[in-house]
Amino acid sequence: MTTLTDSSPNQIRAACEAASQAAPGWAAAPVVQRAALLRALADSLQSAREALVPLADEETHLGTVRLNGELDRTCFQLRGFADQIEAGRAQPVQDDPAVPGAPPAGRPRLTRIAVPVGPVAMFAASNFPFAFSVLGGDTASALAAGCTVVVKAHPGHPLLSRAVFELATAVLPAGVLQMVEGAGIPVGVALVRDPAITAAAFTGSVRGGVALWREANARPRPIPFYGELGSINPVVALPGALAANGAALATQLAGSIAMGCGQFCTSPGVVIVRDDEASQAFVKQLAEALAAANPHAMLNAAIRAGFNAGVARLHGRAGVKSLLALPARETAPGAHLVATDAASFLADEVLREEVFGPSCVIVTVRDAAETLQVLHAVEGTLTVTLWGADEDTADNRELVRAAQAIAGRVLFAGVPTGVAVTAAQQHGGPWPSTTNALTTSVGYAAMERFLRPVALQDAPGWLIAARGQA
């Protein structure tokens, strides 16, 4: 397997300096130009599909169907951000005219605008080699906001990273997109520490993300670090929903757990059910559906080793019953399902840790109060799914409040895998799912991470006019 050679400190410094030199010109570029270039990047990706998808499959084992869909999603994001900035989303203006008199009744004219923060460090993810990599959502949103980008390529797909980078630099002005390489920790640390970098975006492990977040905050001039770290995405399956549609929901949930071999940040890792007949029938159906799943090979040996260790810990815990522990099929792992009660889940933090792969923990609760206790114990998560909370009851209101307190996205139907790219999306949640619950890494609001508000007081007319013409 081809591996990336660690970029040297001089190469990292040169990449960051090139992005810094290009930053003023890119920030000042007319919106119509930035939008045209974003669309040109999408067109170039699509035109190179026949070469890029087989290369991605060789390096990630994700399958050509999935990878073609992911390439389409990446192109959709790029074009979507182009549409958004043409509509003025990257240049919001709040204008308060002057009012005669002294404060607080009177005031000067104040015009609130947004300016690009400057060069952004982007850490590519292993599990989405197109959509969260060199030209993925973080890069697209930063470019749309008017920021230059230095990508740290992921060592899980080095040849694809180089191919996409070459494609992109043939489209963009010189310096706007830079790339550094390597699996070594010093590469990421040097990138975050570089004085030219003004913000960082990361998708990956809790351990790696927390280390880089600390580096970002330890700089002489700290920078925002937008990290997506880990999530167990609880599903609360209420008795009414399971009594009405349990078999279909079990099949749907099994597909979500096994999707992409469980290597999604929104993969369901915990399912909360009641101790009743419909719920236990659902658990049996879920185990049967998972047993029939056929996960593909995992992204790399390190992730596979982490999965094996994680499920071994689950099966060995006190108060845990093993429902499914399928052996590996050649290079692909089998699915795993364990069950426990609320008291054991609350007492054992290992049961609340993300296991990256096709596994899930069933937690049986006695009542609504125990359901709330289990949710509160989860801490931060990207999603919570609530099946059966359709009626306006006191219990359902409490359940929704608890879900909103710990998650960035609350679902009332469907499964959490599959994250729509749209203006209303929120892909982020409280710690430890992300380092900043106020932002999203998916959807058009992702641009806001890389725009800094500035108030102009009694600004001259030419400056206000220039904002309107950009």
Catalytic residue positions, numbered: 228, 265
Nearest to 142 by CA among 85, 180, 205: 85
> Which tokens sit at 319?
């108060």
**Listed residue (72, 74, 90) closest to 34, CA to CA:** 90
Give the residue among 180, 74, 82, 179 at the shortest CA–CA distance from 136: 74
Residue 244 contacts by C-beta under 8 Å, 6 or more apart in sequence?
A: none
In sequence order, what are the residues at sequence separation of 6 or more whose Cβ sits closer than 8 angstroms to the Cβ of residue 238? 274, 386, 387, 388, 389
Q: Under a CB-based contact definition with an 8 Å cutoff, are residues 18 and 128 in contact?
A: no
Which residues does residue 292 pair with via DSSP β-bridges, in sequence order? none
Minimal CA–CA distance to 138: which of 26, 228, 218? 228
Helical axes 239-258 vs 277-291, angle rounded to 10° = 20
Q: In what order do the strands lie in the sheet with 199-203?
A: 177-180, 149-152, 120-123, 199-203, 225-228
Q: How far apart are CA 231 and CA 190, in angstroms?
A: 27
Tokens for 3, please give them: 């591996």
What b/e readout covers 398-428, taking b as 16+ CB neighbours within 10 angstroms?
ebeebbeebbbbbbeeebbbebebeeebbbb
157 burial level (CB within 10 Å; 0-12, 13-18, 19+): buried
Report the chain's C-alpha Rg in angstroms: 24
Q: Using CA atoms, how far apart are residues 12 and 18, in angstroms rounded to an integer?
A: 10
SS3 state at 34: helix
